Amino acid sequence: MADEIVEIADNATPQDAHVARLKVDARKWVAAKLLPKKYGDRPAEVNVNTQINLGFNQCGRPATVTGLKKLRMTKSKKNKNKGKLPLARFKQSLTVVGRNLSKSLLIRVRGAVNYLWVGRWMADRGFVFPEQVSVSDRTEVFVSIARRVADKKVLYLEFGVAAGETMRWWSSALKNPGSKLHGFDSFEGLPEATWFWTKGEFSTGGKAPKIDDPRISFYVGLFDQTLPAYQPPPHDQLVVNLDADLYSSTIFVLRTLRPHLKSGTYVYFDEMNHVDHEPRAFDEFVAESGLKFRPICADRTLTYVAFEIA
């Protein structure tokens, strides 16, 4: 390892000196952890005369208690900072590495971390989905709801329609001619950007999809423009599909629909793996509303998740 450190130092240039220093420090840190007795920080040798003189000031008179306290405090701060130094250097190393990574790679890394968070999030709230291991995509989650309500007089509300793929699926799955399917979307894409999506993503140029089913109606505009005045028609079963993606949109829909959310209502979330958005909105709404939600079905990645209000 010593030869490796010397080689790094010899090859360093003024332009990458800080990188070379980080590499050397990293190797020294590893060596200290592997062989602490040989490479770790050693206690300073004690000079007897120096130790005796600690009790006297520069004039040879006994030092005050305050002076000794300051000395001890200084040593204590140095000892505390020793533990922080490797962590600070590690963080600095991450910033150096980050400069050389593409944005798309960083998005994938953050996405992977989000799956860790959603697993922890579900566990903390006691949500367990018995069928999760065998469910591979959102269509199977839809099926788990549809088989319970297909023949009922359903009011199906979809928030985030885009090209209408999901609306077409539910149009086929709901068999009762008295069911209604209402889709809410501006059809101009997301109203704001996130770390993952861009503003305007999923736009269809302001045009709603054409679906041959008279039970379907579209409410075109932003949610805060169309939903407050919306009056749900009579129905026996309510199914809410939240594919709004954003925290701001999701929490607005949940709060506005609160008077209509009753026991037996099914609520589906399409992006639960983005913990800063739909899970955050869901968390806040549960705390505000006092409603209890039973887990019904989720895919194996916990991205597509369905609940029933207890």
Q: Is residue 217 a contact partner of residue 182, using CB atoms and an 8 Å limit? A: yes
On the CB side of 209, CA atoms within 13 Å amount to 20
Q: Give the distance from CA 242 to its chain's centroid.
A: 17
Structure tokens at 176: 């009762």
Q: What pLDDT is stored for residue 60 in this prediction?
A: 45
Say if residues 281 and 245 touch (Cβ distance below 8 Å): no
0.85 surpassed by pTM: no
| pLDDT in the model for residue 50 | 40
Which DSSP category does 160 fall into? -
Confirm if 141 and 170 have CB atoms less than 8 A apart.
Answer: no
Fold of the 113-309 domain: Rossmann fold (3.40.50)
Distance separating alpha carbons of residues 189 and 216, to the nearest angstrom: 21
Distance, CA of 195 to CA of 301 (rounded, Å):
20
- Per-residue pLDDT at 46: 41
Q: What is the pLDDT of residue 170?
A: 98
Domain borders along the chain are 2-101, 113-309
Looking up tokens 């793929």 gives 165
Exposure b/e, 145-166, CB count within 10 A at least 16 = b? bbeebeebbbbbbbbbbbebeb
- Which residue stretches of the chain have pLDDT < 50? 44-63, 65, 68
* pLDDT for res 166: 97
Position 140 scores a pLDDT of 95
Residues ≥6 apart with Cβ < 8 Å to 70: none
Residues in the chain: 310
List of E strands, the chain: 154-159, 180-185, 216-220, 237-242, 266-269, 293-298, 305-309
Q: List the one residue out of 146, 147, 170, 150 whose CA is nearest residue 158.
A: 170
